Amino acid sequence: MISRLDSRSNNVSEYCATQTETDQLLGNTSKWSESHSVQELETTWQAEAKLLTKNAAPLVVTLALQYSLTIASVFSAGNLGSNELAACSLASMTANITGIAIYNGLAAALDTLCSQAYGAGNKILVGVYLQRMAAFLMVLTIPISMVWWNGEQILRMMIPEPELARLAGLYLRVLAFGMPGHALFECGRRYTQAQGLFRAPMIVLLITAPLNMLLNYLLVWNSHIGLGFVGAPLAVVISNYCMPFFLFLYIRFYSGSDCWGGFTRRAFQNWWPMIKLALPGLVMVEAEFLAFEALVLMASHISGAHVAANAIVAQCGSVLWRFSFALSIATSTRVGIFVGAMAPEAAKTTANTSLVLSCILGCINASILFSTRYQIPRLFSKDEHVIAIAAAAMPLVGFFQIADCIQCVAAGVLRGQGRQYIGSYVNLVAYYIVALPWSYYTCFFLAWELMGLWSGMAIALALIAVVECFVVLVTNWKRVVGECRARESWA
């Protein structure tokens, strides 16, 4: 099995006979010997390529459907008027920076903890980590909610339009009530992924996403119960609680309950080692998110057409990024499981295979953007000036898709190893010491405009890809396994 839960088995045939759905994580080429020596746990790059691709597929759907929850609200609010559209977009951006990115960044520690615990055969510890992170995020919800509750006053200091600040503040106040649900789903998603249940979150969102659309219609537009603008965030709140509820039903009645040992006081103990592992993940997410938001601010100082073109380019990059991030998640889970199972060679094979796959995926993404650089902008705008600006920047954005895929997957390997801190240091240096100063200089002093802005991001992503890829390739995997054993001692 993927973990050492079968440590009392005497041969490979007994292991294969007891395989379950989650045991597919190891693939058919992996094996346990009679002694279960880590040197005997083997896999091949062909098996890893097949399995990583298979596991990444449902994750792409999951990420797309989860993103649709916000898009549905923006669409619903936008059809009420321009003020409502601007307010919803502003509130969504504020919520991402000050809340959602925080939850997602911190919860990424479970990519390390849960997968390594599962690989080590300590199933109950997977459930303990889930509860521990959920409790920690619930505590963080208090200060985040306080910021959102006073969102109108905060936004008034940065936005000259009082009505825009009022509507955005109202959106944030309502949305604050749904953040516990979002946090629980993020924890639960990683709990199931660590067990190889990559389809579970996808199934949940296949139910929730259409429900969210229906809620938007009923709460925003319906003549009998419609609430207007406030109905848009309320639909997100209800959806945020539906996601963990449906995921709980999946775990309880279908698969995933093996790692649940019941509620325990251990969830409220020994937080600091977990927090030390989670904080670098938060830095990685926030550093990248804020850097790309800074491009929007700089573009606004060029012209309105450049803001629109920048939005088109960023949206294209965001859509394609979900494919590389799905591969990153599949990689971090796979690597973490092999590390937990004390199989350094198998983990190394997975890591190297994932980097090759990231190069292939990056080339595909680059080809898509380059070949459709004139067609895609026309889907967003009819302004020929905006289309021309976006089309000119597309080849550059397409070029750095290769670096973006590599750095994204390499970061997944680091999460599987439990070495997120490396990525946090690299991101801070690449984005804030190299990229943003270069973007500002080339945009305004060299008059490269949008090309200048995105050239800085291209340099940053290339730098991150080179450094993280190098770190992965020179990894001492036996040392990583040793760090995993030490990590279990404080759990």
Alpha carbons 124 and 259: distance in angstroms, whole number: 5
pLDDT of amino acid 22:
41
Q: Which of 466, 444, 467 is nearest to 455 (CA)?
A: 444
pLDDT of amino acid 93:
86
Hey, where are the domains in the chain?
61-269, 280-491
pLDDT of amino acid 6:
37
Alpha carbons 447 and 158: distance in angstroms, whole number: 27
Q: What count of Cα atoms within 13 Å lies in the side-chain half-sphere of residue 328? A: 19
Alpha carbons 239 and 218: distance in angstroms, whole number: 13
Contacts 24+ apart (CB under 8 A), 214-219: 215/239, 216/72, 216/73, 216/75, 216/76, 217/76
Residue ranges for the chain with pLDDT beneath 50: 1-40
pLDDT of amino acid 38:
40
User: Which DSSP string corresponds to 310-351?
Assistant: HHHHHHHHHHHHHHHHHHHHHHHHHHHHHHHTT-HHHHHHHH
Whether the CB-CB separation of 112 and 347 falls below 8 Å is answered with: no
Q: What is the dihedral of CA 297, 302, 304, 307, to 10 degrees?
A: -40
Q: Which two tokens stand for residue 37?
A: 């020596």
Q: What is the dihedral of CA 346, 484, 279, 118, to 10 degrees?
A: 70
pLDDT of amino acid 489:
67
Segment (H or E) for 471:
helix 450-473
Cα distances from 486 to residues 166, 412, 479, 483, in angstroms, run 50, 21, 11, 5
